[in-house]
């Protein structure tokens, strides 16, 4: 919910934030993707049209690069015990396909570049290296450690299998749309 309402997220109770997310799901398109290892949910990423994330418009760090109606991957959660096993890469590959199926012209992300000085260890937005491996290019860099990265979706076939999706997060990890 942080990416939808900004810092108000921290001021509300967990119950209010959960109820608000359920309302987002009830109203329309799923707000993201889940990664599963068998029956266990091991990861999540928020995936939606940038227009569904109005808080981004108020952030100088994440202001629009241009007028392209991009979709955004704004945050991840990977369950403890599954981190550093490729779950984020599997979610990125699935997000590319889902955004392409939704006819988005491009997919944008706001990761942390760990190779730059002063980068944070707070990696919930993903890492620049993971997005670069998936074919994303830096289109803006408001701070040295905070690139805005984008993938042009015209070249992706919606049915194509990503090598990362096949090799990452354990061969059993499956991806499906999120639900509450």
- Spans of the chain below 50 pLDDT: 161-173, 177-180
pLDDT at 164: 42
Residue 95 belongs to a domain with what CATH number?
Answer: 3.40.630.30
Cα–Cα distance for residue pair 6/14, rounded to 1 Å: 15
> In this predicted model, what pLDDT tens digit does every residue of 12-40 receive, in sequence order?
787 887 777 777 667 776 778 999 998 89
pLDDT at 7: 63
Longest dimension (CA), the chain: 43
Quick check: 87 and 127 in contact, CB under 8 A?
no
Give the number of other Cβ atoms within 10 Å of residue 40's Cβ. Answer: 12
pLDDT at 179: 35
Count: domains in the chain = 1
Quick check: 49 and 72 in contact, CB under 8 A?
yes
**Structural domain boundaries enclosing 85:** 2-177
């Amino acid at each position: 919910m942080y990416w939808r309402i900004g810092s108000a997220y921290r001021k509300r109770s967990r119950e209010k934030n959960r109820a608000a997310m359920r309302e987002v799901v009830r109203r329309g398109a799923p707000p993201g993707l889940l990664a599963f290892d068998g029956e266990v949910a091991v990861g999540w990423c928020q995936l939606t049209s940038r227009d569904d994330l109005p808080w981004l418009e108020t952030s100088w760090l994440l202001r629009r690069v241009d007028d392209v109606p991009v979709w955004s991957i704004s945050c991840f959660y990977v369950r403890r015990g599954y981190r550093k096993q490729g779950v984020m890469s599997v979610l990125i590959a699935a997000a590319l396909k889902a955004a392409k199926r939704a006819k988005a012209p491009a997919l944008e992300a706001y990761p942390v570049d760990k190779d730059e000085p002063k980068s944070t260890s707070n990696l919930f937005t993903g890492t620049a290296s993971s997005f670069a491996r998936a074919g994303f290019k830096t289109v803006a860099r408001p701070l040295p450690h905070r690139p805005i990265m984008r993938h042009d979706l015209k070249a992706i076939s919606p049915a194509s299998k990503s090598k990362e999706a096949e090799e990452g997060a354990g061969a059993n990890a499956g991806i499906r749309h999120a639900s509450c």
